[in-house]
């Protein structure tokens, strides 16, 4: 799913929520196969049919629990054990759960099947893909255009399932009946279509690999089809299909180079497209986008952004690796989907226009440090809780950015491929065995294997602590000492990129500490390219180390720089005096007066917050700050980047 620009758009629902703690009833079985057979009626905005779930028993159980949203009426439920015959069984449907009585004794290793017959009007999406539900739209020529999106609350808003990300079926069959002349497209392979002779047709599809239940989807409209073959980086030919509204067919045909270039880049950095044996499929959707496996939603009007790419197409395609091939075991691990998909956007910007633009792209996505939760909490979360609280997009991407600096480029780019494909010779995902459902700890273990590095400190800080680490710098007369502070006092071993008098250097950090030779007159800039996801550093001058502090004025370079919207300016004065600190624009106009008072000798720090300036439009650009105290005057330059 793409980043929601307003969190107010997210809706939550008590009964249909997806994931969270796995109940004992859910833990008692492992889904093996779903068979969904639904009629979809745009006139009454209702659906109805059956869902068969076949599962392997893990712990003996007497009630088989499936999730299904409250608006539906369950008419009957059939049950069978192993290869026996279906028999009707008792059930109740309350609070979004169907509790199915298992009429025979079952034990670990048995296969059981339940077939649920239900119908009703599914929820209507308020703002898809963020609000969940059906989309009963019309095309520009006034014909039905139907879709469904359900990531926030799970597939149980339209079909009965075990609504937890830790369990995916090995395969799934779907049959959808829609009014003529609509076509209904879905995930996996197209098997057959049948005209039922009653002005409806049934479309059958089969997914041959595991799939997240929120990725199962439909699109119905009078589509035109663009068909092609993509050359996979592993050598095979992959069937490509794009079902597009006829009104946009020519536009889409002319746009296919954008799709292809983005596909080729993602294969180059992540490995082969994972689901080529089913298809590489897209459908023109009545909403922006969604990562529906092998039938991705595209509704972005064939537009590229100012960075030169179609970020909806690109982001949703990246999910075929990050989300669909590699799936989070709990929604608390959803950075695996959104952080990695978002980070690959920055890599594409780098590919298109170089490192400066890569850094700019990441700076624009730098998350503030105000989280109540770590990026990857160890407690289970529902989908809505995770999307509301974890900032998995920008924070996840920023942690990947810092990890790249930490392990180095060649190691990091190898790691991306090994996360997707642990065996560099094993790309053939014909039976879904390469799909992995992983926790954050699993990702760490795989990263340690791929990089040959101990990554506990990195993961303990950036994934398991709510706030970012703080860098402490103590400047003495001939040395600067660096140390990391973290919530749980983890000895973070991430080195510090710096410039000293404009020259790039690195402070090696061991067990959370490091130092370099540096005199007080040297100009030190910390992390000038902003590789590190950290809080504002604490920089102090140690007066006990020599006596410069009592005889020198000093004005530090503001930090961060460039900045937006706030930055910190530190200065020291060796004697008492009246201090004035003012900010000017390039034309010499005074923008702000930050200090105007008597100060006794010492070290001071003042924040320049551009949000607090009234009556002036503060735009991106160079600004100057000038400190005047006694007969001392110094002016430094700073850069505001909006
Ligand atoms: Zn996404």
How close is the Cα of 609 to the center of ligand 1, in Å?
A: 32
How close is the Cα of 351 to the center of ligand 1, in Å?
A: 20
How close is the Cα of 335 to the center of ligand 1, in Å?
A: 10
Residues lower than pLDDT 70 in the chain: 4-15, 429-431, 543-551, 615
CATH code (residue 408): 1.10.390.10
Asked if residue 538 is part of any domain, the answer here is no
The reply to whether 271 and 293 lie within a common domain is yes
How close is the Cα of 2 to the center of ligand 1, in Å?
A: 4
User: In the listed set 462, 478, 494, which residue is the last one of a domain according to the structure?
Assistant: 462
How close is the Cα of 20 to the center of ligand 1, in Å?
A: 20
Report which of 24, 14, 32, 296 is spatially closest to residue 168, judged by C-alpha positions.
32
How close is the Cα of 314 to the center of ligand 1, in Å?
A: 10
The reply to whether 131 and 43 lie within a common domain is yes
How many structural domains comprise the chain? Answer: 4
The reply to whether 290 and 336 lie within a common domain is no
User: In the listed set 268, 293, 321, which residue is the last one of a domain according to the structure?
Assistant: 321
The reply to whether 309 and 376 lie within a common domain is no
The reply to whether 339 and 311 lie within a common domain is no
Rounded Cα distance between 186 and 539, Å, is 57
Asked if residue 31 is part of any domain, the answer here is yes
The reply to whether 261 and 399 lie within a common domain is no
Is 372 strand, coil or helix? Answer: coil
How close is the Cα of 341 to the center of ligand 1, in Å?
A: 6
Is 575 strand, coil or helix? Answer: coil
CATH code (residue 198): 2.60.40.1730
Asked if residue 576 is part of any domain, the answer here is yes
Q: Which DSSP letter does residue 29 get?
A: E
How close is the Cα of 486 to the center of ligand 1, in Å?
A: 29
User: In the listed set 262, 294, 321, which residue is the last one of a domain according to the structure?
Assistant: 321
Q: What is the pLDDT of residues 541-562, one digit of tens each?
A: 875 554 444 567 888 888 888 8
The reply to whether 316 and 268 lie within a common domain is yes
How close is the Cα of 338 to the center of ligand 1, in Å?
A: 5
How close is the Cα of 613 to the center of ligand 1, in Å?
A: 36
Rounded Cα distance between 454 and 445, Å, is 9
How close is the Cα of 630 to the center of ligand 1, in Å?
A: 56
How close is the Cα of 266 to the center of ligand 1, in Å?
A: 15
Enumerate the H helices of 101-248 as residue ranges.
none
How close is the Cα of 340 to the center of ligand 1, in Å?
A: 9
How close is the Cα of 349 to the center of ligand 1, in Å?
A: 17
Asked if residue 549 is part of any domain, the answer here is no
Distance of alpha carbon 228 from the chain centroid: 29
Give me 528's structure tokens: 């000038």
Asked if residue 500 is part of any domain, the answer here is no
The reply to whether 333 and 242 lie within a common domain is no
Give me 87's structure tokens: 């028999």
The reply to whether 348 and 308 lie within a common domain is no
Rounded Cα distance between 517 and 44, Å, is 76
Rounded Cα distance between 285 and 624, Å, is 50
How close is the Cα of 582 to the center of ligand 1, in Å?
A: 44
How close is the Cα of 336 to the center of ligand 1, in Å?
A: 10
Give me the pLDDT at residue 555, please: 87
Residue 621's φ and ψ, nearest 5 degrees, are 150, -175
Give me the pLDDT at residue 552, please: 76
Give me the pLDDT at residue 10, please: 45
Burial of 157 (0-12, 13-18, 19+ CB in 10 A): buried
Reading phi first (left if > 0) and then psi (alpha if -120 to 50, else beta), residue 185 is in beta
Report which of 117, 121, 156 is spatially closest to residue 37, judged by C-alpha positions.
117
The reply to whether 35 and 88 lie within a common domain is yes
Judge contact between 183 and 195, C-beta under 8 A.
no
Report which of 628, 498, 490, 475 is spatially closest to residue 548, judged by C-alpha positions.
475
Residue 626's φ and ψ, nearest 5 degrees, are -120, 130
CATH code (residue 607): 2.60.40.1930
The reply to whether 117 and 14 lie within a common domain is yes
Asked if residue 179 is part of any domain, the answer here is yes
Structural domain span for residue 306: 229-321
Report which of 161, 155, 186 is spatially closest to residue 32, judged by C-alpha positions.
161
Element (H, E) at 138: strand 133-138
Rounded Cα distance between 537 and 44, Å, is 60
Give me the pLDDT at residue 11, please: 44
Q: What is the pLDDT of residues 571-606, one digit of tens each?
A: 888 888 999 999 999 888 899 999 999 988 777 889
How close is the Cα of 291 to the center of ligand 1, in Å?
A: 7
Burial of 536 (0-12, 13-18, 19+ CB in 10 A): middle
How close is the Cα of 550 to the center of ligand 1, in Å?
A: 55
Judge contact between 231 and 260, C-beta under 8 A.
no
How close is the Cα of 507 to the center of ligand 1, in Å?
A: 35
Q: What pTM did the predictor assign?
A: 0.84
Give me the pLDDT at residue 430, please: 64
How close is the Cα of 632 to the center of ligand 1, in Å?
A: 54
How close is the Cα of 315 to the center of ligand 1, in Å?
A: 6
Angle between helices 409-420 and 440-451 (to 10 degrees): 130
b/e sequence 546-566, b meaning 16+ C-beta within 10 Å: eebbeeebbbbbbbbbbbbee
How close is the Cα of 392 to the center of ligand 1, in Å?
A: 9
How close is the Cα of 412 to the center of ligand 1, in Å?
A: 21
Asked if residue 526 is part of any domain, the answer here is no
Asked if residue 242 is part of any domain, the answer here is yes
b/e sequence 121-136, b meaning 16+ C-beta within 10 Å: ebbebebbbbbbbbbb
How close is the Cα of 337 to the center of ligand 1, in Å?
A: 6
How close is the Cα of 641 to the center of ligand 1, in Å?
A: 27
How close is the Cα of 321 to the center of ligand 1, in Å?
A: 11
How close is the Cα of 88 to the center of ligand 1, in Å?
A: 41
How close is the Cα of 312 to the center of ligand 1, in Å?
A: 9
The reply to whether 286 and 183 lie within a common domain is no
Is the preceding peptide bond at 565 cis, omega within 30 degrees of 0? Answer: yes
How close is the Cα of 373 to the center of ligand 1, in Å?
A: 20
């Amino acid at each position: 799913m793409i980043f929601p620009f307003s969190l107010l758009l997210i809706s939550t629902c008590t009964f249909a929520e997806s994931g969270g703690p796995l109940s004992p009833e859910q833990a008692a079985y492992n889904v093996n196969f779903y068979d969904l057979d639904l009629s979809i009626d745009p006139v009454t905005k209702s659906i109805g049919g059956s869902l068969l779930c076949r599962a392997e028993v893990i712990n003996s159980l007497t009630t088989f629990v499936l999730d299904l949203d409250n608006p539906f009426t369950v008419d009957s439920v059939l049950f069978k054990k192993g290869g026996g015959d279906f028999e009707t069984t008792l059930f109740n449907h309350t609070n979004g759960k169907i509790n199915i009585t298992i009429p025979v004794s079952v034990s670990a290793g048995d296969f059981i099947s339940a077939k649920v017959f239900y119908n009703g009007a599914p929820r209507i999406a308020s703002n898809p893909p963020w609000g969940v539900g059906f989309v009963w739209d019309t095309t520009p020529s006034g014909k039905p255009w139907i879709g469904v999106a359900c990531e926030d609350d799970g597939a149980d808003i339209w079909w009965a399932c075990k609504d937890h990300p830790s369990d995916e079926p090995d395969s799934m069959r779907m049959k959808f009946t829609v009014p003529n002349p609509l076509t209904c497209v879905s995930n996996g392979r197209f098997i057959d279509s049948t005209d039922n002779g009653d002005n409806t047709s049934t479309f059958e599809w089969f997914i041959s690999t595991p799939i997240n239940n929120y990725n199962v989807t439909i699109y119905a409209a009078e589509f035109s089809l663009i068909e092609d073959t993509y050359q996979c980086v592993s050598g095979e030919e992959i069937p490509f299909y794009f079902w597009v509204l006829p009104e946009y067919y020519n536009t889409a045909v002319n746009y296919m180079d954008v799709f292809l270039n983005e596909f080729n880049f993602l294969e180059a950095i992540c490995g082969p497209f994972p689901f080529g044996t089913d298809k590489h499929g897209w459908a023109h959707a009545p909403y922006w986008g969604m990562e529906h496996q092998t039938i991705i939603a595209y509704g972005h009007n064939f537009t590229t952004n100012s960075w030169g790419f179609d970020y909806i197409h690109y982001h949703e395609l990246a999910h075929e690796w990050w989300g669909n091939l590699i799936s989070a075991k709990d929604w608390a691990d959803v950075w695996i989907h959104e952080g990695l998909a978002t980070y690959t956007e920055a890599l594409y910007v780098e590919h298109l226009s170089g490192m400066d633009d890569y850094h700019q792209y990441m700076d624009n996505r730098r998350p503030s440090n105000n989280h109540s939760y770590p990026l990857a909490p160890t407690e289970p979360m529902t989908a809505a809780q995770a999307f509301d609280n974890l900032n998995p997009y920008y924070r996840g991407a920023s942690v990947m950015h810092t990890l790249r600096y930490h392990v180095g480029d060649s190691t990091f780019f190898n790691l991306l491929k090994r996360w997707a494909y642990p065996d560099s010779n094993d790309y053939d995902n014909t039976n879904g065995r390469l799909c992995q459902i992983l926790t954050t700890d699993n990702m760490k273990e795989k990263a340690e294997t791929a990089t040959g590095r101990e990554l506990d400190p990195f993961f303990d800080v950036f994934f398991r602590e709510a706030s970012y680490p703080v860098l402490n710098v103590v400047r003495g007369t001939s040395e600067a000492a660096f140390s990391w502070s973290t919530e749980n006092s983890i000895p973070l071993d991430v080195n510090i990129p710096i410039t000293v008098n404009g020259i790039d250097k690195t402070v090696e950090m061991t067990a959370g500490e490091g130092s370099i030779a540096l005199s007080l007159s040297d100009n030190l800039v910390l992390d000038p390219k902003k590789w590190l996801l950290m809080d504002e550093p604490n920089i102090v001058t140690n007066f006990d180390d020599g006596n410069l502090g009592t005889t020198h004025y000093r004005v530090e370079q503001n930090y961060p720089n460039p900045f937006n919207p706030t930055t910190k300016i530190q200065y020291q004065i060796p004697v008492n005096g009246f201090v004035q600190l003012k900010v000017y624009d390039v034309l010499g106009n005074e923008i702000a007066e930050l200090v105007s008072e008597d100060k006794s000798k010492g070290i001071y720090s003042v924040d320049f917050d551009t949000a607090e300036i009234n009556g002036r439009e503060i735009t991106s650009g160079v600004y100057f700050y000038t400190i005047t105290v006694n007969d001392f005057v110094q002016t430094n330059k700073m850069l505001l980047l909006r």
